[in-house]
Structure 1
Amino acid sequence: MRVYIPSTLRLLDVACHTGEFGPPPLTAYAVTPALREWYAEGDDEELEYAAMAQAARASVGLLAADPGTPRRRVVVACEVSAIPPADGTVELGDARLELQVVVPWTTVAAAHVDSAEAAAVVGQAADLWGAAQNGDDDAVFALDSCEGEDLLWYATQEIPDLLAAEGPNGRQA
């Protein structure tokens, strides 16, 4: 199953060098039954995009928690064995699930990362994350503005070069 793990450049660097994402539980996003039911008319590609968009939003929360990391959303696409929740405990349209395992780097299919030019928009959203979670309209608008920024696609073999260009601790070299 394709899952999308929200991340940051700093966390991506750690996973690349340790060979895994962890420790569990890990929050990930995928085409869950709740997402499929919400987007009943969506094809598989649209559902995958919706799951990735939810992971990208969660990446902003990770950025908010780590002010020292570059303000670029990161979503890592992995192929793992996961069973989406089916017990009715998730909201309709929710793609979130918890992985109770370490995710090996060998399962990474690609990384989706904001361009450096998106840092201002993403940074503002990260700065206002807490207010957005509390329903502040201006903060929610800032968070929604991130969705206008396209994530760039990096093949697995390109990720080390991306990280090297960012330098130590995810700073552009």
Structure 2
Amino acid sequence: MRVYVPTTVELLQTLRDKGFQPPVAAHAVTPAVREWYVEGDLEELEYAASDEAAEASLRLLAATGNAVPRRVVVAADVPDDAVRPSGLARSGIEVQVPVTLADVASVHVDDDEARADVRVAAQAVCAADAGDDGAAADVGQAAAHELLWYDVSELDDVLGLA
């Protein structure tokens, strides 16, 4: 199953060195996503799950405070039976096995132009979660930026982003 793991530039070093240890909070095409997006094909459903992971990356940035202001999503393939629903979001899951570099299909990261919007969105995401419309607009501004795609072989390049 393809999963989308929200993370930060700094935490990618952990992925490279020892992997993410379970339970790993992630996002995937769940039954709830399929029900919500009835008309979507698999690619559209995966995009929706990836978007929710990108928003979850904002929460990680908010929690760390001094991280590089870029949303980061790791796309990885894990066994179907290693995934459990988390109930935290429509696409929210927990991966019950380590997610290692060998599992990674690609890494998705904001470009330089998104940094200012991501910084503001990271500060606003908790208020947006609580229903603040202005904060939700700030989060939406960051979401308007498409994440760049990197092959796993380019991880060192991504780690060099600051």
RMSD across aligned C-alpha pairs, in angstroms?
A: 1.8
| Stretches (4+) displaced over 4 A | 83-86
C-alpha deviation, 1:85, in angstroms: 5.0
Equivalent runs, 1:95-106 vs 2, <5 Å: 95-106=91-102
Instruction: Give the letter aligned to residue 142 of structure 1.
Output: D
**Which runs of 5 or more residues in structure 2 are unaligned?**
none
Q: 1:27 to 1:105 in 2, by over 3 A?
A: same
Q: Which residue of 2 aligns with 1:21?
A: 20
Other-structure match for 1:70: 68
CA distance in 2, matches of 1:59, 1:82: 23
The normalised TM-score by structure 1 is 0.87
The CA deviation at 1:115 is 0.3
Number of aligned residue pairs: 161
Contact 1:32 1:85 in 2 (8 A): no
Q: Is the 8 A contact 1:56 1:75 kept in 2?
A: yes
The alpha-carbon deviation at position 97 of structure 1 amounts to: 0.6
> What TM-score, normalized by structure 2, do the two folds share?
0.92
Structure 2 residue 136 is the aligned partner of structure 1 residue 143: no
Contact 2:84 2:95 in 1 (8 A): no
Q: Is the 8 A contact 2:4 2:74 kept in 1?
A: yes
- Structure 1: state its 5+ residue gaps: 167-171
| Structure index of larger Rg | 1
- Match for residue 78 of structure 2? 80
Identity %: 46
How big is the shift at 1:162? 2.2
Q: Which amino acid aligns with 1:57?
A: E
Letter in 2 for 1:7: T
Of stretches 128-137 and 71-80 in structure 1, the one that deviates more from structure 2 is 128-137
SS at match of 1:130: helix
